Chain A
Amino acid sequence: MKYGYYPGCSLERNAIAYQQSTMAIAKPLGIEFIEVEDWNCCGATEYFAIDALAAYALVGRNLALASQQKLNGDRNQLVAPCSACFLNLYKTDHYMAEDNKLNANVNEALAAGGLHYDPGTVKVRHLLDIIVNDIGYEAIAERVTKPLFNLRVAPYYGCMIVRPASIESFDNPEYPTSLDKLTHSLGAEVVDFPLKAHCCGGHMTQISENTALELIRRLLKNAADYDADMIVTLCPMCQLNLDAYQENVNKHFGTNFHIPVLYFTQLMGLAFGLSANNLGLGKEFINAKPALDKISSEPLKKQRRKKRPPKETLPMPTMPEES
């Protein structure tokens, strides 16, 4: 399967492990990524605060290039692994379609550079979306040679992959489950992580560090309360904040968290039996090795049969999957 690919600035450096592991798992999954030629920054959350039209035009240039280069033919699907890039590309396309004036203005700006973009011509998708929906959990499970038995993983989605919601959103904006199911298909034990779609602090590390540290602390505390061995994520900003700022959190709050934060592609690579070197492992601040050492080759024996609840217990509501 061929896809257009927009790595975004973070994957070039800070999230190099995400880039390496994405490329590493692409081959066994039969995915070919064709990078948009001469792409530029998506503007993150910053450009929109200064000049809206310039920001939309900045993103528009990427869409125009992707549309022009027809990276995977008529499907023209553009994959972004970074949630902020994904949102900016997706939102620009969507807003240009919704708002005629914005569409006209963005195209007037693009024309100055000899470009044009018709909203709707490029379909923007997040890396996780194509992996779980185009490849599928079963196909992924089939590729697993070294299941991640006994590793307790908290799947962390952050914000911008699931919000703002649209009709086309591939997962629930409040309680997404795709990464949970993916992690499960790799053999790991999935933590039902209540804060899985809460904010990592975003750029507040730069603007008001105390605000950011508190948001990071909430996530780490919740993962620790749920006995997670590690957090798995899909966004460079989330990874950076939870990983690189973990020590700052410990200093600031007198806590003692040591929860490694890896990209889901890294866990997939490990489960596929790929070499750790090709997956960017070791680039994390909080060393993931002790957690990864917990992985056992056999699933742990089912811990004692579920105790029958006492007879007074009232039944829990049935959930859609069960009923």
Chain B
Amino acid sequence: MTEERIGVYVCHCGTNIAGTVDVEEVSKWAGEKLKKDGVVVSRDYKFMCSSLGQELIQADIKEKSLNRVVVAACSPHLHEKTFRTACQKADMNPYLCEMVSIREQVSWVHTDKRVATEKAKALISGGVLRVAKDEPLEAIHVPINPATLIVGAGIAGIQAALEIADSGFPVYLVERDSSIGGHMAQFDKTFPTLDCAACILTPKMVDAGDHPNITLLTLSEIEQVDGYVGNFTVTIRKGARYVKEDVCTGCGICIEKCPIKVIDTNFEAGLGYRKAIYRNFPQAIPKYPAIDTEHCTYFLHGKCKACQLFCPTQPNSIDFEQQDEVIRIEVGNIILATGYDLFNSRRIPQYGYGRLANVFTSLEFERMCNAAGPTEGRVFLRDGITQPKTVGIIHCVGSRDKHYNNYCSVICCMQSLKFAHLVKERTGAEVYEFYIDMRTAFKDYDEFYQRVLQEGVNFIRGRVAEATDAARLPGEEGKLIIQAEDTLIGKQRRIPVDMVILSAGLEPRADSEEVAKKFGISCSSNGFFIEKHPKLDPISTLTEGIFIAGACQGPKDIPASVTQGAAAAARVLGRIQSKELALEPIRASVIEERCSGCRICNDLCPFNAITFNEELNVTNINQALCQGCGTCVAACPSGAISGTQFSDEQILAQLDGILSLPINSGKVKTLESVPA
């Protein structure tokens, strides 16, 4: 065995580390005191990650024949790849380079320079002893399946699907609802330009529906996800539509003839009706209707069949015997674009939604304004005939409130301004907006606020206390009264109105936790999917090959959703075009002679990489499926599973190194506790 020749490189990170750790002293100390452990050179440098810093290491590898490197700098999350690549370029095996975090784990969590310096030394000592035990490894290369699964066909999902499909690669676009388009398809106008939502969305929907590279699966849910980046196997349940898609012409006669009318709580947001056989809207993609078995007389009572009777196609398009279909597909990458749910305004009883007829949610109002909606775009009170003369719009319903959602829902200010404009345009009514802060960031948004100001809308800065029908003062009888403090004058005000619109916030989907678990990703405390990095990588997740786009990652408007959809697609396209992906060779392996065949590890693997060999009575681990998480390593009672790069030998050596310092032997007494 060749002798270890280790180089230690201590980074200042400007003042990030050097402000709290005496880096020169640490470097000097390592060069002297760790000589016995194989350290032949130790240096400190202002920015080790800079080209010059990397060249310093590379020069030492060549000139001083280093065969191992320890870089004491930031977290390996950030620059491990940088330094490993640098070592590799200097013909050293990249896995013989270890990083020691003296920024996140030392300088950023301590204030006492002396203590921080000692702790940095201890961690470096651990890194040096550990690197000596590291083995040279080769990255695992996996092929990438060029097909992509996109879950959710709202504007973000559609955008991503079109970007990938237009580049010539296959896409499976899976949607839970009976047609695609998501929330955007429900809207009438979009802020700040007041484009007709349908006019800009339907061309994209048609494209997605007709695209030779897109397989559209509606009424479908993901059941199971197996495999790993590049090679996922996904099981999808395609719900029965009870309409044969290969014969149906979408003529709509069945809908006309169906005798059952139910309140449509989905697409019409409860404001309108649909039949038991229905299509969300005239331009729906796909155009085929679907039967709602919960309300269909045939499914409830075994008779009716009006739809079948009147269906003009040959053969008949209605198929009451249709069953759910379970489909298995193979894809290389997955984009989740599952969108949002609207905050349930019933949770705030003092706003009267559900009790007071003329309190509407934002989504109800969107449907009301939509020319294809229940009132054909006319703004009416709940009676369906009376135009309001006064309208109050309440911002932040369920948002910015610790009792409900602690975050700002981003879109509500602009949406409320849009509503004010639409009310004015269609009824000429007096409009009052009740807001806490007016948030009109982004291009042309504040200009829209200016425009609405100019249109004569009244703005009251105060969060609404209550909306009530309890009249107290003259002029309030028969009205809804909005009570709030006008904080700009410091007085309580009661504004009698005919109609109240609640700008309800955006929430994670009710089943977001469940969906996250299915795809092996995580949700933040408020329930939205967590991105890999909030600034630098908002579309990736910590699970390789799973990307997120649109409102499932956090509240956002249409332009932002489209941007993320396109960005996720670009990332996926890059992956597909590189054809294969290098994976970290961090894997678990079974030392067969030690395995007792107890099978404790068998069910623990989150990646289904473990199988059991009945014949030999030992466990096997599939090296392609294993992600190196270490669960089985920790669980094995016989110590028969070893994790590459996390072997007992490596970890014990690291501990020896850390514990060898006086800081741990009672000589330094004032080690502050690291904040939790």
Contact = CB atoms under 8 A, between A and B. Distances in A.
B385 interface: yes
A249 interface: no
Interface residues of A, number: 21
A192 B272 CA distance: 26
Contacts of B468: 194-195
Contacts of A318: 263, 265, 270, 354
A194 B350 CA distance: 9
Interface string A98-132: 00000000000000000000000000000000000
B410 to A, nearest CB: 24
Interface string B331-362: 00000000000000010111001110100010
Contacts of A315: 263, 270-273
Measured as residues with beta carbon below 8 angstroms from the partner, the interface class of chain B is: 20 to 34
B375 A314 contact: yes
Interface string B359-377: 0010010000000001100
B472 interface: yes
B451 interface: no
A310 B350 CA distance: 28
Interface in B270-309: 270-273
A316 B357 contact: yes
Contacts of A222: 470
Q: Is the interface of B mostly helix, strand, loop or mixed?
A: loop
Contacts of B385: 310, 312
Nearest to A315: B263
A225 B385 CA distance: 26
Nearest to A219: B470
Contact of A310 (B361, B380, B384, B471): B384
B4 interface: no
A318 B269 CA distance: 10
B382 A218 contact: no
Interface string A187-204: 000001011000000000
Interface in A306-320: 310, 312-320
Nearest to B264: A315
Nearest to B472: A218
B383 A313 contact: yes
B469 interface: yes
A192 B352 CA distance: 12
Given A175-B350, A312-B384, A317 B270 contact: yes
A37 interface: no
Nearest to A192: B355
A310 to B, nearest CB: 7
A310 B265 CA distance: 20
Interface in B252-269: 263, 265
B274 to A, nearest CB: 11
A313 B382 contact: yes
A243 B10 CA distance: 81
B349 A175 contact: yes
A319 B354 contact: yes
Nearest to A193: B470
Contact of B353 (A312, A314, A317): A317
Contacts of A172: 349
A174 interface: yes
A314 B272 CA distance: 7
Contacts of B272: 314-315
A221 interface: yes
A194 B352 CA distance: 9
B264 to A, nearest CB: 9
Interface string A49-82: 0000000000000000000000000000000000
Interface in A267-323: 310, 312-320, 323
Contacts of B383: 310, 312-314
A68 to B, nearest CB: 37
B364 to A, nearest CB: 8
A203 B415 CA distance: 44
B354 A218 contact: no
A323 B346 CA distance: 13
Contacts of B357: 316
A313 B383 CA distance: 4
Given A310-B384, A312-B385, A317 B472 contact: no
B354 A314 contact: no
A317 B354 contact: yes
B192 to A, nearest CB: 28
A315 B324 CA distance: 32
Contacts of A314: 271-272, 374-375, 380, 382-384
Contacts of B270: 315, 317-318
B351 to A, nearest CB: 9
B346 A319 contact: yes
A40 to B, nearest CB: 35
Contacts of A174: 348-350
A194 B468 CA distance: 7
13 contacts: A174-B350, A310-B384, A313-B382, A313-B384, A314-B380, A314-B384, A316-B382, A317-B270, A317-B346, A317-B364, A318-B270, A318-B354, A323-B265
Interface of A: 172, 174-175, 192, 194-195, 218, 221-222, 225, 310, 312-320, 323
Given A313-B383, A317-B346, A317-B354, 10 more contacts: A174-B349, A174-B350, A195-B470, A310-B383, A313-B382, A313-B384, A315-B273, A316-B354, A317-B364, A323-B265
